[in-house]
Amino acid sequence: MAACYHGFDPAAYLQYNYTAPRADFKRQDSIVPWKLGCLHRAFTEGDVSGELLVDIGSGPTLYQVLSGCEVFNRVILTDFLEVNRQELRRWLRDEGDCGLDWTPYLQHVCKLEGRQPSVWTEKAARLRAVVSDILPVDVHHPQPLAPGALSSVGADCLVSCFCLESVSPDLAAFTRALGHIQGLLRPGGHLLLIGALGESYYFGGPGVKIPVVPLNEAEVCASLKETGFTLIRLEVYTLPQDMRVGVDDVSGVFFVKAKKE
């Protein structure tokens, strides 16, 4: 699978998936606002708490921790690819020249939190303050992060979006990877998982076609159960026809809130 990611282009990937129509904040049925809404609700229901939030397979994106950064005092971002880690560092250091302007995302999440969109700069400052590390990760290794990256207690919450199914050759590997990241989480900690349904490929750049494990809801639930998670909630989004823009063959997206027993 690592070979499939040679040539991955963070800027192209961001343009394919994180601009309109998939990121149209004026539309109720746009996929990105749906994901942000799921994450906002999960982080503000009161049961997800602690000190450390770890994002598994961040890619070149930040949206998945925009709500969580208000709940946790420390956030660790991770990705297998150095080009993605570099993209994240550019934003966190406020160097400019980023592949995407995250301002509309910051503004939208501020609105979800009942704040004026104009305070988005405060949220950006908060995120930059709480991200303590951007680390390499390999979900196919029984210890996905380097030894000592986390304390022995483990993370209080894991987020992972569109990672496991897009780096696994089959369902069995997806389930094993889920088990590996489960080992990073403290007992009683939460997992917030977003992933693709019915997707067999996506483009990670011009001509970079990456295979994906096509999942359905039942398979996701079975994998969670097998790896020691208790499902709290499963939500499903079905892509409208105009969201199917030719950069993948995804039919839907799932959101999972689960707890490690």
Task: List the binding residues for S-adenosyl-L-methionine.
Answer: 13, 18, 57-58, 63, 79, 84, 138-139
Q: Which residues of 28-57 are buried (b: 16+ CB within 10 A; e: fewer)?
A: eebbbbbbbbbbbebbeeeebebebbbbbb
Distance of alpha carbon 125 from alpha carbon 123, whole angstroms = 5
The helix or strand, by DSSP H or E, that contains position 106, with its residue range, turns out to be helix 103-112
Q: Give exposure, 170-197, as e/b (b: 16+ Cβ within 10 Å).
A: ebebbbbbbbbbbebbbeebbbbbbbbb
Q: Prior bond to 211 cis, omega within 30?
A: no
CB-based burial label for 118 (10 Å; 0-12, 13-18, 19+):
exposed
Pick out the residues of the known binding site. 13, 18, 57-58, 63, 79, 84, 138-139
Chain position carrying tokens 């990611």: 5
Residue tagged 């951007």 (tokens):
134
Distance CA 176, CA 179 (A): 5
Sign of the four-CA dihedral 190, 79, 16, 125: positive
Residue 99 DSSP label: S
Residue 80 near residue 59 (C-beta atoms within 8 A): no
Give the span between the Cα atoms of 215 and 200, in whole angstroms: 9
